A = this chain, B = another copy of it.
């Protein structure tokens, strides 16, 4: 089979290239490129011939080659903990919308809260030469990213700070939120307040625990260590932690849940509990105002976090090179 015959009788899985289009239209390769990219310098008649060949062959530009040649992939990576976590849904969408408005595609991956997996994923994205990265970090050491950032991959961290590296960070002000949450419970007369949070390795968990202690101390209330539990947000762990706090001689009368995963399980436990127990949860979730028993939530505007981070990323890609900065937002 001759080269120019490829367009006429194509093998399955073989696609026509600009060369095939050029041969069929009887023009040069570069002219096809010009037509495909809408570049000027092509007469209407030539353009028509090329378009006909494109349609006849079913040609579609191979962006892999284009990317190699141009050096830009027009894609960004988003690494978060779990694509199925409803907290990240709006964030994910916000990032995608900003990417889309800049003509970029979004490559998505879950770290499953595993630092090794985060690194593997991030480096795979770097090998793909994504233009930029939005990372909700699971790891606390990101020095492995330094060469990539130096090589030009813009990087923005969201929700949790970067570890041991200088980079842009967009955080929500969980400090104020956590304080308000605990203060809210204290104002309602609670004295024995439990805190159930995420794994201590995770920055926000650490931060919220600290704020819980600060708020308790500010009200002159003691904290019994049996009222504090950090760990994975798996339902079983949260359930047993909550059950333990609700039992015993000095049971808590209120709970502060460190994130939406914890809150959901806590609601379930409290729904089956004989005494009423107050609950304040970090992170809003759908219909939070209508669940029974009633709960209070500290809303975080996840969409804004994502939008801010993505916009910052594209600002960097457009050439902004001021020093990396931290951005804090109050709870939504």
Interface residues of A (CB under 8 A from B): 12-15, 58, 60-65, 67-68, 73, 75, 82-86, 89-90, 92-93, 96, 100, 105-110, 123-129, 147-148, 150-152, 264, 267-268, 271, 285-287, 290-292, 303
6 nearest A-B residue pairs (beta carbon): A13-B152, A58-B147, A84-B93, A84-B89, A83-B93, A292-B292
Copies in the complex: 2
A213 to B: closest C-beta gap in Å:
29
Cβ–Cβ < 8 Å partners of A286 in chain B:
86, 264, 285-286
A contact patch SS: mixed
Residues of B within 8 A of A123 (CB): 60
Contacts known (A127-B60, A286-B264, A292-B292); A82 close to B86, Cβ less than 8 A: no
Other-chain residue from B92, B126, B152 in contact with A60 (beta carbon distance below 8 A): B126
The answer to whether B96 and A64 touch across the interface, beta carbons within 8 angstroms, is no
Q: How far is the CB of A12 from the nearest CB of chain B, in Å? A: 7
Query: Which chain B residues lie closer than 8 Å to A86 at the CB level?
Result: 86, 89, 286
Q: Which partner residue on chain B sits nearest A110 by CB separation?
A: B96
The residue from B85, B100, B124 contacting A105, defined by CB atoms under 8 A apart: B124
**Docked CA distance A100–B114 (Å):** 14
Query: Are B109 and A62 in contact, CB atoms less than 8 angstroms apart?
Result: no
Q: Do A63 and B147 touch (CB < 8 A)?
A: no
A148 CA / B12 CA spacing, docked (Å):
11
Q: Is A148 a contact of B60 with CB atoms below 8 Å?
A: yes
Beta-carbon contact of A85 and B96 below 8 Å: no
> How far, in whole Å, are A291 and B150 apart by their CA atoms in the complex?
50
Interface pairs (17), CB distance under 8 Å = A12-B152, A13-B151, A60-B148, A62-B129, A64-B68, A64-B73, A82-B93, A84-B92, A86-B286, A96-B109, A107-B107, A264-B287, A271-B290, A285-B286, A287-B291, A290-B291, A291-B291
